[in-house]
Amino acid sequence: MEFGSDNNAGAAPEIIAAVNEANAGPSPSYGNDPIMDRVRQKIREIFEAPEAAVYLVGTGTAANALSLAINCTPWGTVYCHPLSHVENDECGAPEFFIGGGKLKLVQGDHGKMTPEALQTAIGGTPQGDVHTSQRGMVTITNTTEAGTVYSPSEIAALSRVAKQYSLPVHLDGSRFANAVVATGCSPAEMTWKSGVDIVSFGGTKNGCLGVEAVVIFDPAKAWEFELRRKRGGHLFSKHRYLSAQMDAYLTSDLWLKLAAHANGQAKRLSDGMARMPHVKFLHPHAANILFVSMPRQYHRQAMNAGAHYYLHPFSASLDGPDDERIDARLVCSWCTSDREIDQFLALIRDQG
């Protein structure tokens, strides 16, 4: 019963097979492999962006930090949500790669910035004063860290505010596939058609071994990205293994099928929990992540029987009064089984 993270899931068999196939014989290094040509072509087709520059890196943190670095000056401000991965989980990599930079937090319920709060944050950054950081760029996450999903019109509303100040917009799409499946909208609608300039397009969480693409809609930014990727230690010499993963991921809509499974299993889990009066949902859920609260005794029953997931905050403990409510995050992945969900639901059912 693994609900800790989609990072805890293994890699899909199609991805492993593709890596194995790419292992035959020599291949040009450093991204000059023929599989990368296919990947570039496929991503341009999927995003309906024939001019887009496409690069692969090994981690989501690198994808985000490099994307921000080519769009923000060392004295610039990056506007992001308080729950964002760039703010909480990247050990300052965005600031490090930018060579400075200042993250400014923009509020909004359920992991989503509101256009009003963004307007206030950008408008409230003084300009022309040498003592303060200047306006830089906006970064949003979809699927959000709260498990919610921005629609294209919500993204467009944020982009409109950013564009009013001529600021670029980055999308952290480490779970982009889950957001695309949840909304039923096209990758183009979810990005450049809604004003997004650059995307970290995730593969790792959704069944790859370890690969993320960066999709840059303005090719004028491409060379700087290449230089920064190399300088940042993220240009893989045996790049074909990254390419092979991404190629398989995009073949026959595998990326969408894997995300549809993860989202579907989260729905099965939430439908089961919604029938239990002691379970409360903390955010509206649409993708593969649920945040719930329930009395400690149910967490204890589930975890002691082998269910794995994280309590929130991390300092929360199974020790304490039975009836005290504790929050938790539950994540489904491309390989979460019906059996795992049904076992978990049986464990947290009210026995009384």
Ligand X SMILES: Cc1ncc(COP(=O)(O)O)c(C=O)c1O
Residue 60 CB, shortest distance to ligand X, in Å, is 2
Q: Tokens 């599989």 correspond to what residue? A: 35
Show the binding pattern over residues 194-233: x = contacts ligand X (CB under 6 A), - = does not. ----------x-----------------------------
Number of residues that bind ligand X (CB under 6 A): 11
Structure tokens at 260: 């549809």
Do 342 and 265 touch, CB atoms closer than 8 A?
no
For the chain, how big is the Rg over CA atoms in Å?
21
Residue 201 CB, shortest distance to ligand X, in Å, is 11
Interface residue with ligand X among 71, 125, 139, 174 (CB under 6 A) is: 174
The string over 219-258, giving b where at least 16 C-beta atoms fall within 10 Å of a residue's C-beta and e elsewhere, is eebbeebbebbeebebbbeebbbbbbbbbbbbeeebbbbb
Interface residue with ligand X among 44, 48, 59, 160 (CB under 6 A) is: 59
Closest residue to ligand X: CB criterion:
60
Cα–Cα nearest to 145, from 179, 170, 193: 179
Between residues 91 and 346, which has the closer beta carbon with respect to ligand X? 91
> Which 237-296 positions form the footprint of ligand X (CB under 6 A)?
none
Give dist(CA 220, CA 226) in Å, integer.
11
Between residues 14 and 172, which has the closer beta carbon with respect to ligand X? 172
DSSP states of 133-145: PEEEEEEEESS-T
Angle between helices 254-274 and 176-183 (to 10 degrees): 70
Interface residue with ligand X among 14, 95, 154, 172 (CB under 6 A) is: 172
Show the binding pattern over residues 71-110: x = contacts ligand X (CB under 6 A), - = does not. --------------x-------------------------
Segment near ligand X (CB under 6 A); pick from 45-53, 56-64, 120-128, 319-327: 56-64
Q: Is 141 in the site for ligand X (CB under 6 A)?
A: yes
Interface residue with ligand X among 2, 33, 145, 189 (CB under 6 A) is: 145
Cα–Cα nearest to 282, from 140, 124, 109, 38: 109
For 245, the enclosing helix (H) or strand (E) is: helix 240-250
Segment near ligand X (CB under 6 A); pick from 29-37, 43-51, 57-65, 107-115: 57-65
The helix/strand/coil state of 98 is: helix
Interface residue with ligand X among 31, 60, 101, 111 (CB under 6 A) is: 60
Give the residues lining the site for ligand X (CB under 6 A).
7, 59-61, 64, 85, 141, 145, 172, 174, 204
